[in-house]
Amino acid sequence: MRGRPGGAGIGPARDGGRLWGSDGPRRGDRRRPRGLRGALSALSTVLLAFLLVGTQALPASADTVRDMQYWLGDYGFTTAWEKTKGAGVTVAVIDTGIASGPAELTGAVAGGVDVSGLGSPDGRTPVGSEGSEHGTLVASMIAGRGRTGGAGVIGVAPEARLLSVSVGFGSDGSAVIPWDDQIATAVRWAVDNGADVINMSLTRNSLDWPTSWDDAFLYAFSHDVVVVAAAGNRGSGTVEVGAPATIPGVLTVAGVDRTGSASFDASSQGITIAVAAPSEQLVGVTPAGSYVQWQGTSGAAPIVSGLVALVRSAWPELSAADAIKRVTATAKQVGDSAQSPIYGAGLIDAAKAVSGTVGPAATSPEQQLSDWITLYRRAPQVPDPDPGAEQPSPTPEPIPPAIPENEAVEVRANPFLPTPSTLLYGSLPLALLLGTGSLVTLGVIGATRHFKRVLQK
């Protein structure tokens, strides 16, 4: 099965900016697999897609482009730069590849690789006939160097280093390496080549993921690497977050418009969302060096990846877990809920994340994923007894006291114990229920009303 990036090219995106391949669901047919079995069977139809809704060409003036990067000031990045610009931190971009042409990325890329079999060995030749500019756009959001005279696109961590890991999804039938294998290989390569942060602006459009990703992401977490993933876009068919954004320990990013309200088309929702960042009216650089305005959580994720780079640069002694805690704990809460399936902990604040006082994290990404694997992948095995060993004499079982019929005991499953379905399909965990009353019911109603208000603007 093949996936493909979409909504690519300079100018308005084709097909309304959809990212689906020919065999994927359309806007009028958004069916969600029911139950864990449904999720597993959906593997035959799921796609891996880049989370970009559309692009639009911008004027050639580089200084005009800099003026359009509203998130630099509105979200505290220019203030954070007074302490650090990301020097000493490496961010791996697992995407279509970072082109070598744009002036903004000169000297930014420290290395790269192609894991698709379709690109160049250094990962610097954009892969795919459609969406090939995607990786370059993402990279410019993270660590664009700008141009002389304070012009051009500058990333949120303009002194961070980048690694270009190109992956391809063979929409033209040319891919020979399964894309699940590509992603697992890409994550491991990034870790082995010094990544402190991994940006993944892509999705399987599926809530579940293959076991090969368990091992790859555990490998990243055990090496103290922060993995940032985009939540997905309704405008491209992702109604709720999909892997890797559903993997425990991943820092999942939702998108908001310029006013800070949840974006309807350029975001998604789910209980794994950690924070929200701008996903509309974004500006990036194409492989040809031109500027485009684009939208989608593909752009929100690199803003957060760049923020993590700033945090790790300012606080090099911090673990990945504590770096993530700085991003989430300093986010500006939206509404009455401290943890929302729409905004996560809230809107990022780069200045506070870099300079604020934040306590240590209670758990690590590695522990979160390990616990999940123990519960749902690796049931404990009871060894078979050695037939040659002497077996102990059986102990007579005590006879339980009789229970009167009118006092019959009914055994019920613990309703708060997590199951694969609650983890994968959106039932709020107990931790979110504590102190929030009827969050499940009110959350659904509130989310519905919220998006109606957004659409009426």
* 3-state percent breakdown (helix, strand, coil) of the chain, nearest 5: 30, 15, 55
134 a catalytic residue: yes
| CA separation for the pair 344, 443 (Å, rounded) | 12
Task: Please say if 265 is a catalytic residue.
Answer: no
Burial 286-302 (b: 16+ CB within 10 A, else e): bbebebbbbbbbbbbbb
Other CB atoms within 10 Å distance of the CB of residue 332: 16
Token pair belonging to 41: 């069977």
Helices (H), 365-456: 365-376, 420-425, 430-433, 439-456
The owner of tokens 């602006």 is 201
Q: Give the CA distances from residue 212 to residues 43, 96, 316, in Å, rounded to whole numbers and listed in that order.
A: 14, 21, 30
Q: Which of 132, 268, 298, 305 is catalytic?
A: 298
Contact (CB, 8 A) for 324 and 226: yes
Catalytic pick among 114, 116, 132, 134: 134
Q: Is there a catalytic annotation at residue 450?
A: no
The Cα 287–Cα 135 span in angstroms is 9
Which of 335, 392, 325, 395 lies closest to 365, judged by CA? 325
| CA 271/CA 255 separation, integer angstroms | 14
Q: Which residues are catalytic?
A: 95, 134, 298
